[in-house]
């Protein structure tokens, strides 16, 4: 009858980590090799065996084409996405287009979807935990970069499902780090989490107080991380080698893999030493009997020069986010560094100089995310009816909306809204006798629909034939605490409803998307502002009468006090506004004034009842 | 083990407890079935004969140990700790009994907040106040979130409460988002009516109290004024006399209704004595009484007059009584009575007085021949020929066949 075991998994770009809460404290679970992190690498051996983690990493050089690393950079992405196209140039494994336009990976003549490959890593972490507990584990919280969009979140959740995990929650990595940072420490602070990992960069600002973790704002870049630093070193080595030997090492998959490993190692060494030796003997055979060797010295200074712009990009993202969220740097009381890349002195220095304070050294940059995930998993599965002792109020990182007539993007849920959240809006047809509308759901920051990420589309058919503008369609958006989007649309008159869970399999190519947008002019919807005016007017008039009836009584009682004077003045304004709105037939003004009217009535009644004159 | 548990302990079946899965004895099972859905004390169970008094403690103890029931301090429950926050609210039994992993208190709280979503201001919704600092608002929001955020009910069976919680949390978010942004908060503050802060509430209570006091003082003043007026009247002797006069008049009316006319007259006279203003009313009553008396006296007179010896013997008394009746008759202007008295006076040889009374009778009832007859006889006896002639003339006119009238008319004509 022991408590159910729940785990938190940090599914990283380069390394993954699993943790659990034991005796009230989060704790990282080491794998069989007693390593606390496991490389997020999957390989298919010649025998067809699946290899995951350290074992996969060790054989990478000899089996580069069938070894997948950094799958996280591809998860939930369309094949046509520029990021995927760029990856095709860099990675030794073969990236192909899936049947729904998603990016897939071909290993030994078999095509794997990215969630399948991520699932292998998750499965490995699950196994690590099960070996530690000696019992099966099902429930897990999995972390993702905060700036992941819906498709990427959905795909990660799918990966969990494939791995046989019940992913009870997807949480953002910087948020998880903050959870571990503030858990049971009675922290009351505003902190920034600077998370530069293997593949992604996130910056989040949170208020932590009384066990509540409120994310105020988040921003990031899902394609900026340690991999990019490694890539710079690889390029430097490749170009240097080419200059010397007139040979492009990138043509040789095995050489490329060795370069990659050496680059990562050199980068890590330069975090503690000022210079390092990169020595790769027999990097390439020229076909004649002699082989080419690579031997170069890389200094920290050189590395910083090569990667300065990457660090600069991180700082720029921080700056933009703080400005947009209207948070001043001096309001921050701590900066937490997360992710292996934050060990780089240049990164630390940039953070120190930008935020004007020494970053916190209280958390382990590689483990803190998994620890936070475990904390959240434990909090969610806590039994009993009492209030939770830990609560996460996270936000959605992107604007969410639909495409409207003219190819514009109509935001319904703005970025940095606390999840779960929902919004609904009434749209209307743009043509006479339009019998179908296509709802195109997008996520992004641009006003132009096509510049944003397409999450999916769905068609609402069977609308009654009517003049344009007279058919009303309710579109409802919902973002779950996981940040996953569900959309439904309903014809107000017929009640015909369709809903979609926006899924990764709904992915479309850029070209297809452009086509959709073009075609959609025929199905476009427009914003609907007309309202049931009469009913609102009746209600408003009733409230106005009630307020006017009670006005003398209320004035008699509270007119002499400051707040009373204020309240009366306001009540007067509210009534005037309502009257004006009625006179002008202004439905919007009437709608926005309704609540105030109601509250005024309640307040007046309250005062009147105190003197027995209600 | 036969001691009953301390009275403040109450028991209820915990939310989400499946009692069918617990290893209970038949007795325990029965007791649990009686506790299900309510909160009871051991005393209640004993009173309802659910369990024997000496078994109550051990059975409840065992049930609590097996996790079937929760021991809750009744002191903690709403009733004892301050006023019931839901006073006057009737919750739907359907909502309260819907299967969901929520305590009754949680249900009530959720239903209560939900029904007030529209009427509460953002401040009240968050459990804050209008004058709260941004930090206080954040505090309030965090506290509310712990209570209403969906994660506080993660993977629980909530039934219809899921949607309610969703609505509540969404409203709280909107409230917080608005109040946290200085500009939006200012706009909201400027336009919305917001509940008073506790301090203002106290001030309002004070103002209302003052107002109530003023109102009450006004009413008291009015009542006092009335009482003062009464007292002033009481102290005024005139008023006192008038009051007495009214009292006597009432007594008189009463007596009159009872047929006691003399008594009525007496009271009436007393009334008139206290209040001159009542004279007219009093006179009516007195006259009525006197008339009645005169009637009786007339009977007596006629008895005396019937016997000549008696008439002689009692001439003095007869004269006095006749005068008395004559006076009443004159005052009452009662023609038949006047005629009767006039006739008696003629017999007593007092024609002058008889003529006077007959004259009055004739004036009162000019068409009454008896009046003219009496006047004619009196004038004849007194040798007033002119009067005789006129009276006889009127009499004859009314009774042309009357021989005595003709005779007296002739006498009158001759003498004048």
Q: What is the CATH number of the domain that holds A523?
A: 2.60.34.10
Over pLDDT 90: what percentage of chain B?
14
Say whether A571 and B205 touch across the interface (CB within 8 A). Answer: no
Query: Looking at the structure, do residues A118 and A33 belong to the same domain, yes or no?
Result: yes
Q: Which residue has the higher pLDDT, A400 or B6?
A: A400
Q: Which residue has the higher pLDDT, B118 or A236?
A: A236
pLDDT tier for residue A104 given thresholds of 50, 70 and 90 = very high
Cα Dmax for chain A:
108
**Closest partner residue to A391 among B152, B170, B211, by Cβ?**
B152
Q: Which residue has the higher pLDDT, B72 or B320?
A: B320
pLDDT tops 50 at residue A510? no
Query: Looking at the structure, do residues A206 and A96 belong to the same domain, yes or no?
Result: yes
Rg (CA), chain A: 29
Helix (H, G, I), strand (E, B) or coil at A434: coil
pLDDT tens figures, A123-133: 999 999 999 99
Q: How many domains does chain A have?
A: 4
What is the Cα–Cα distance from B368 to B383, expressed in whole angstroms? 23
b/e code A17-47 from CB counts within 10 Å (16+ = b) = bbbbbeeeebebbebeeeebbbbbbbbbbee
From chain B, pick out residues whose CB is under 8 angstroms from the CB of A598: 118-119
> Per-residue pLDDT averaged across A424-428, rounded?
82
Average pLDDT, chain B: 82
What is the Cα–Cα distance from B372 to A410, expressed in whole angstroms? 123
> Per-residue pLDDT averaged across B229-251, rounded?
80
What is the Cα–Cα distance from B203 to A559, expressed in whole angstroms? 12
Predicted local confidence at residue A529, as pLDDT: 45
A2 shares contact with chain B (CB less than 8 Å): no
Please name the residue of chain B whose CA is at the shortest distance from the CA of residue A574. B191
pLDDT tops 60 at residue A532? no
Most B CBs within 10 Å, among A387, A412, A547, A573, to test the B interface: A387
- Chain A: give the shortest CA distance to residue B181, in Å: 10
pLDDT tops 80 at residue A310? yes
A574 closest CA partner among A554, A555, A550, A592: A592
Query: Looking at the structure, do residues A203 and A60 belong to the same domain, yes or no?
Result: yes
pLDDT tier for residue B380 given thresholds of 50, 70 and 90 = confident
pLDDT tops 80 at residue A164? yes
Query: Looking at the structure, do residues A218 and A230 belong to the same domain, yes or no?
Result: no
H or E stretch covering A177: helix A173-182
Strand ranges (DSSP E) for A461-584?
Answer: 472-479, 485-491, 497-501, 525-527
- Chain A: give the shortest CA distance to residue B281, in Å: 51
pLDDT tier for residue A422 given thresholds of 50, 70 and 90 = confident
Cα Dmax for chain B:
145
Q: Spell out which chain B residues touch chain A, with contact meaning CB-CB distance below 8 angstroms.
A: 15-16, 101-103, 106, 118-121, 138-139, 142-143, 145-147, 149-152, 154-155, 166, 169-170, 173, 177, 190-196, 200, 203-205, 207-208, 211-212, 215
CA dihedral B298, B302, B304, B308 (to 10 degrees): 150
> Encoding tokens for residue B315?
């001439």
Query: Looking at the structure, do residues A523 and A418 belong to the same domain, yes or no?
Result: yes
A139 shares contact with chain B (CB less than 8 Å): no
Q: With beta carbons less than 8 A apart as the criterion, state whether A384 and A438 touch.
A: no
Query: Residues 403 to 462 of A: which have CB under 8 A from any B CB?
Result: 418, 420-422
| Of the residues A500, A527, A554, the one at which a domain ends | A527
From chain A, pick out residues whose CB is under 8 angstroms from the CB of B177: 418
Over pLDDT 90: what percentage of chain A?
47
Q: For residue B92, how many other CB atoms are within 10 A of its CB?
A: 9
What is the Cα–Cα distance from B255 to B268, expressed in whole angstroms? 10
Which residues does B257 contact at the CB level (< 8 Å), separation at least 6?
Answer: none
Most A CBs within 10 Å, among B151, B175, B201, to test the A interface: B151
User: Of the listed A195, A264, A394, A453, which one is catalytic?
Assistant: A195
Q: With beta carbons less than 8 A apart as the criterion, state whether B265 and B286 touch.
A: yes
Domain contains A220:
yes
A300 preceded by a cis bond (ω within 30 of 0): no
pLDDT tops 50 at residue A608? yes
A267 closest CA partner among A298, A235, A241, A294: A298
DSSP conformation class of A123: H
Q: Which of A48-52, A139-143, A287-291, B256-260 has the lowest mean pLDDT?
A: A287-291
Predicted local confidence at residue A526, as pLDDT: 55
Distances (CA, A) of A427 to A233, B156, B352: 52, 35, 122
Assign residue A297 the CATH number of its domain: 3.90.640.10
User: Please, is B382 exposed, middle or buried when counting C-beta atoms within 10 Å of its C-beta (0-12, 13-18, 19+)?
Assistant: middle
Predicted local confidence at residue A125, as pLDDT: 96
Query: Looking at the structure, do residues A287 and A173 belong to the same domain, yes or no?
Result: no
pLDDT tens figures, B382-404: 888 888 888 888 888 888 888 88
Domain contains A501:
yes
Domain contains A2:
no
From chain B, pick out residues whose CB is under 8 angstroms from the CB of A595: 118, 192
pLDDT tops 80 at residue B49? no
Domain contains A73:
yes
Please name the residue of chain A whose CA is at the shortest distance from the CA of residue B131. A563
Tell me whether strands A94-97 and A67-69 are parallel, antiparallel or unpaired: unpaired
Predicted local confidence at residue A490, as pLDDT: 82
Predicted local confidence at residue B69, as pLDDT: 80
Domain contains A358:
yes
Helix (H, G, I), strand (E, B) or coil at A494: coil
Helix (H, G, I), strand (E, B) or coil at B70: strand
What is the Cα–Cα distance from A344 to A582, expressed in whole angstroms? 64
- Torsions phi, psi of B306, nearest 5? -60, -30
Domain contains A500:
yes
> Encoding tokens for residue B326?
């004559």
User: Of the listed A72, A78, A267, A346, which one is catalytic?
Assistant: A72
> Per-residue pLDDT averaged across A468-472, rounded?
81
Q: For residue A319, how many other CB atoms are within 10 A of its CB?
A: 14
Chain centre to alpha carbon of residue B93: 41
pLDDT tens figures, B325-361: 888 888 888 888 888 888 888 888 888 888 888 888 8
Q: Which residue has the higher pLDDT, A181 or B118?
A: A181
Please name the residue of chain A whose CA is at the shortest distance from the CA of residue B124. A599
Distances (CA, A) of B212 to A310, A606, B199, B217: 73, 15, 20, 8
Predicted local confidence at residue B3, as pLDDT: 45
Tell me whether strands A275-285 and A212-221 are parallel, antiparallel or unpaired: unpaired
Q: With beta carbons less than 8 A apart as the criterion, state whether A156 and A144 touch.
A: yes
pLDDT tier for residue A498 given thresholds of 50, 70 and 90 = low
- Chain A: give the shortest CA distance to residue B193, in Å: 5
From chain B, pick out residues whose CB is under 8 angstroms from the CB of A561: 200, 203-204, 207
From chain B, pick out residues whose CB is under 8 angstroms from the CB of A393: 145, 149
- Torsions phi, psi of B391, nearest 5? -65, -45
- Size of chain A in residues: 614
Q: With beta carbons less than 8 A apart as the criterion, state whether A214 and B142 touch.
A: yes
Predicted local confidence at residue A3, as pLDDT: 64
Strand ranges (DSSP E) for A29-128?
Answer: 38-39, 41-44, 50-52, 67-69, 94-97, 103-107, 110-113
**Closest partner residue to B142 among A212, A381, A600, by Cβ?**
A212
From chain A, pick out residues whose CB is under 8 angstroms from the CB of B148: none
Predicted local confidence at residue A514, as pLDDT: 52
Query: Looking at the structure, do residues A162 and A277 belong to the same domain, yes or no?
Result: no
Please name the residue of chain A whose CA is at the shortest distance from the CA of residue B176. A418
Which residues does A289 contact at the CB level (< 8 Å), separation at least 6?
Answer: none
What is the Cα–Cα distance from B269 to B71, expressed in whole angstroms? 88
> Per-residue pLDDT averaged across A289-316, rounded?
92
Predicted local confidence at residue B8, as pLDDT: 54
Predicted local confidence at residue B135, as pLDDT: 93
> Encoding tokens for residue A355?
């935020």
pLDDT tier for residue A101 given thresholds of 50, 70 and 90 = confident
Tell me whether strands A472-479 and A485-491 are parallel, antiparallel or unpaired: antiparallel
Predicted local confidence at residue B265, as pLDDT: 85
User: Of the listed A102, A124, A150, A173, which one is catalytic?
Assistant: A173
Predicted local confidence at residue B195, as pLDDT: 76
CA dihedral B223, B225, B227, B233 (to 10 degrees): -160
What is the Cα–Cα distance from B336 to B140, expressed in whole angstroms? 105
Q: With beta carbons less than 8 A apart as the criterion, state whether A438 and A520 touch.
A: yes
pLDDT tops 70 at residue A281? yes
H or E stretch covering A613: none
Which residue's structure tokens are 């999916």?
A456
User: Of the listed A10, A264, A334, A482, which one is catalytic?
Assistant: A10
Q: For residue A403, how many other CB atoms are within 10 A of its CB?
A: 26
b/e code A281-316 from CB counts within 10 Å (16+ = b) = eebbeeeeeeebebebebebeebbeebeebbeebbe
Average pLDDT, chain A: 86
| Of the residues A374, A392, A410, the one at which a domain ends | A392
> Encoding tokens for residue A415?
């970025």
pLDDT tops 50 at residue A505? no
What DSSP string runs through A207-227? EEETTEEEEEEEEEETT-SHH
Which residue's structure tokens are 């008439």?
B311
pLDDT tier for residue B296 given thresholds of 50, 70 and 90 = confident
From chain A, pick out residues whose CB is under 8 angstroms from the CB of B166: 420, 422
What is the Cα–Cα distance from B150 to B163, expressed in whole angstroms? 10
pLDDT tens figures, A319-348: 999 998 899 999 999 999 999 999 999 999
> Encoding tokens for residue B28?
């325990």
CB pairs under 8 A between A and B: 114
Which residue's structure tokens are 């990021």?
A83
Tell me whether strands A7-10 and A15-22 are parallel, antiparallel or unpaired: antiparallel
Domain contains A1:
no
Domain contains A387:
yes
Assign residue A77 the CATH number of its domain: 3.30.420.40
Query: Looking at the structure, do residues A324 and A370 belong to the same domain, yes or no?
Result: yes
What is the Cα–Cα distance from A376 to A390, expressed in whole angstroms? 8
Helix (H, G, I), strand (E, B) or coil at A292: strand
Strand partners, A284: A292
Q: Which residue has the higher pLDDT, A410 or A533?
A: A410
Rg (CA), chain B: 52
Q: Which of A340-349, A569-578, B164-173 has the lowest mean pLDDT?
A: A569-578
Q: Known catalytic residue: A195?
A: yes
b/e code A526-546 from CB counts within 10 Å (16+ = b) = bebeeeeeeebbeebeebbeb
pLDDT tier for residue A446 given thresholds of 50, 70 and 90 = confident
Q: With beta carbons less than 8 A apart as the criterion, state whether B375 and B362 touch.
A: yes
Strand order in the sheet with A391-393: A334-338, A189-196, A201-209, A212-221, A391-393
Q: With beta carbons less than 8 A apart as the criterion, state whether A157 and A144 touch.
A: no
Query: Looking at the structure, do residues A493 and A450 belong to the same domain, yes or no?
Result: yes
Q: Known catalytic residue: A173?
A: yes
pLDDT tops 90 at residue A357? yes
Query: Residues 578 to 607 of A: which have CB under 8 A from any B CB?
Result: 593, 595-596, 598-600, 602-603, 607
| Of the residues A330, A364, A392, the one at which a domain ends | A392
Most B CBs within 10 Å, among A611, A612, A613, to test the B interface: A611
Predicted local confidence at residue B51, as pLDDT: 79
CA dihedral B285, B290, B296, B302 (to 10 degrees): -140
Query: Looking at the structure, do residues A126 and A42 belong to the same domain, yes or no?
Result: yes
Which residues does A270 contact at the CB level (< 8 Å), separation at least 6?
Answer: A276, A298, A299, A300, A303, A344
Query: Looking at the structure, do residues A154 and A218 belong to the same domain, yes or no?
Result: yes
Q: Known catalytic residue: A202?
A: no
Query: Looking at the structure, do residues A44 and A151 belong to the same domain, yes or no?
Result: yes
Helix (H, G, I), strand (E, B) or coil at B113: helix
Give the structural domain span for A239. Answer: 226-306
Predicted local confidence at residue B242, as pLDDT: 80
Query: Residues 478 to 517 of A: which have CB under 8 A from any B CB?
Result: 481
Q: Which of A364-378, B145-159, B235-249 has the lowest mean pLDDT?
A: B235-249
């Amino acid at each position: 009858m022991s408590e159910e075991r729940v785990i938190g998994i940090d599914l990283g770009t380069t390394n993954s980590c699993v943790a659990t809460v034991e005796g009230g404290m989060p704790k990282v679970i080491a794998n069989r090799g007693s390593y606390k992190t496991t490389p997020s690498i999957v390989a298919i051996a010649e025998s067809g065996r699946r290899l995951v983690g350290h074992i996969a990493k060790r054989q990478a050089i000899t089996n580069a084409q069938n070894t997948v690393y950094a799958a996280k950079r591809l998860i939930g992405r369309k094949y046509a996405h520029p990021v995927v196209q760029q990856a095709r140039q860099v990675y030794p494994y073969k990236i192909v287009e899936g049947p729904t336009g998603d990016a897939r990976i071909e290993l030994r003549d078999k095509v794997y979807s990215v969630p399948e490959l991520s699932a292998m890593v998750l499965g490995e972490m699950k196994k690590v935990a099960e070996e530690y507990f000696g019992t099966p584990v099902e429930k897990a919280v999995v972390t993702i970069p905060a700036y992941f969009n819906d498709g990427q979140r959905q795909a990660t959740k799918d990966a969990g499902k494939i791995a046989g995990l019940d992913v009870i929650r997807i949480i953002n990595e910087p948020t998880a780090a903050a959870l571990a940072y503030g858990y049971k420490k009675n922290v009351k602070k505003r902190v920034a989490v600077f998370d530069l990992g293997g593949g992604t960069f996130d910056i989040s600002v949170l208020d932590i107080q009384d066990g509540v973790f409120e994310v105020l704002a988040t921003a990031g870049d899902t394609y900026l991380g340690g991999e990019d630093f490694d890539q710079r070193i690889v390029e430097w080595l490749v170009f240097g080698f080419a200059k010397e030997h007139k040979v492009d090492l990138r043509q040789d998959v095995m050489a490329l893999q060795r370069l990659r490993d050496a680059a990562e190692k050199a980068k890590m060494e330069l975090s503690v030493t000022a210079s390092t030796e990169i020595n790769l003997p027999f990097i390439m055979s020229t076909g004649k009997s002699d082989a080419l060797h690579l031997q170069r010295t890389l200094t920290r200074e050189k590395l910083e020069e090569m990667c300065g712009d990457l660090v600069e990009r991180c700082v720029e993202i921080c700056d933009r986010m703080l400005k947009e969220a209207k948070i001043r740097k001096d309001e921050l009381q701590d900066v937490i560094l997360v992710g292996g890349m934050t060990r780089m002195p240049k990164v630390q220095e940039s953070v120190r100089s930008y935020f004007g304070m020494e970053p916190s050294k209280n958390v382990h940059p590689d483990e803190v995310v998994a620890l936070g995930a475990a904390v959240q998993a434990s909090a969610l599965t806590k039994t009993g009816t009492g209030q939770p002792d830990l609560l996460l109020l996270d936000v959605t990182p992107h604007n969410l909306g639909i495409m409207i007539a003219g190819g514009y993007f109509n935001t319904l849920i703005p970025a940095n809204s606390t999840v779960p959240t929902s919004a609904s809006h009434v749209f209307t047809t743009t043509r006479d006798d339009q019998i179908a509308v296509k709802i195109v759901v997008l996520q992004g920051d641009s006003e132009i629909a096509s510049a944003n990420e397409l999450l999916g589309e769905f068609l609402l058919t069977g609308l009654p034939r009517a003049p344009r503008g007279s058919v009303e369609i309710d579109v409802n958006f919902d973002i779950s605490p996981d940040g996953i989007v569900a959309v439904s649309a309903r014809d107000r008159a017929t009640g015909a409803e369709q809903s979609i869970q926006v899924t990764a399999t709904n992915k479309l190519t850029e070209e297809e998307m452009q086509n959709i947008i073009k075609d959609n002019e025929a199905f476009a919807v427009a914003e609907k502002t007309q309202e049931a005016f009469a009913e609102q007017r009746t209600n408003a008039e009733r409230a106005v009468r009630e307020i006017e009836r009670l006005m003398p009584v209320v004035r008699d009682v509270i007119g002499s006090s400051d707040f009373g004077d204020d309240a009366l003045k306001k009540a007067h304004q509210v009534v005037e506004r309502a009257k004006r709105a009625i006179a002008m037939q202004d439905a919007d003004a009437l709608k926005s004034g309704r609540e105030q009217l109601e509250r005024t009535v309640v307040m007046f009644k309250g005062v009147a009842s105190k003197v027995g004159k209600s | 083990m036969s001691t009953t548990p301390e009275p403040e302990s109450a028991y209820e079946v915990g939310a989400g407890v499946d009692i069918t899965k617990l290893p209970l004895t038949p007795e325990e099972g029965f007791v649990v079935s009686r506790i299900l859905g309510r909160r009871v004390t051991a005393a209640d169970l004993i009173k309802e004969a659910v369990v024997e008094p000496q078994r109550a403690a051990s059975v409840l103890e065992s049930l609590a140990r097996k996790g079937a029931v929760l021991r809750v301090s009744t002191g903690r429950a709403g009733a004892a700790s301050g006023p019931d926050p839901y006073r006057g609210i009737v919750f739907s039994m359907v909502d309260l009994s819907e299967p969901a992993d929520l305590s009754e208190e949680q249900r009530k709280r959720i239903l209560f907040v939900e029904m007030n979503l529209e009427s509460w201001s953002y401040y009240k919704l968050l459990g804050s106040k209008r004058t709260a600092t941004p930090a206080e608002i954040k505090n309030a929001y965090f506290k509310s979130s712990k209570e209403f955020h969906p994660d506080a009910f993660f993977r629980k069976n909530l039934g219809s409460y899921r949607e309610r919680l969703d609505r509540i949390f969404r409203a709280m978010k909107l409230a917080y988002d608005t109040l946290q942004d200085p500009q939006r908060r200012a706009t909201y503050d400027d336009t919305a009516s917001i509940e008073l802060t506790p301090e203002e509430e106290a001030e309002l209570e004070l103002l209302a109290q003052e107002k109530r006091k003023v109102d009450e003082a006004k009413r008291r003043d009015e009542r006092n004024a009335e009482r003062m007026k009464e007292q002033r009247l009481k102290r005024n002797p005139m008023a006192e006399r008038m009051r007495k006069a009214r009292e006597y008049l009432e007594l008189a009316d009463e007596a009159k209704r009872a047929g006691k006319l003399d008594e009525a007259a007496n009271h009436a006279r007393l009334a008139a004595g206290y209040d001159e203003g009542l004279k007219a009313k009093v006179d009516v009553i007195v006259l009525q009484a006197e008339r009645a008396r005169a009637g009786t006296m007339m009977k007596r007179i006629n008895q005396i007059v019937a016997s000549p010896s008696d008439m002689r013997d009692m001439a003095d008394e007869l004269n006095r009584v006749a005068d008395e009746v004559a006076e009443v008759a004159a005052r009452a202007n009662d023609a038949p009575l006047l005629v009767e008295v006039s006739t008696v006076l003629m017999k007593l040889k007092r024609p002058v007085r008889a003529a006077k009374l007959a004259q009055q009778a004739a004036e009162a009832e000019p068409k009454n021949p008896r009046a003219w007859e009496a006047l004619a006889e009196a004038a004849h006896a007194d040798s007033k020929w002119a009067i005789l002639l006129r009276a006889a003339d009127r009499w004859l006119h009314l009774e042309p066949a009357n021989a005595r009238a003709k005779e007296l008319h002739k006498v009158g004509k001759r003498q004048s």
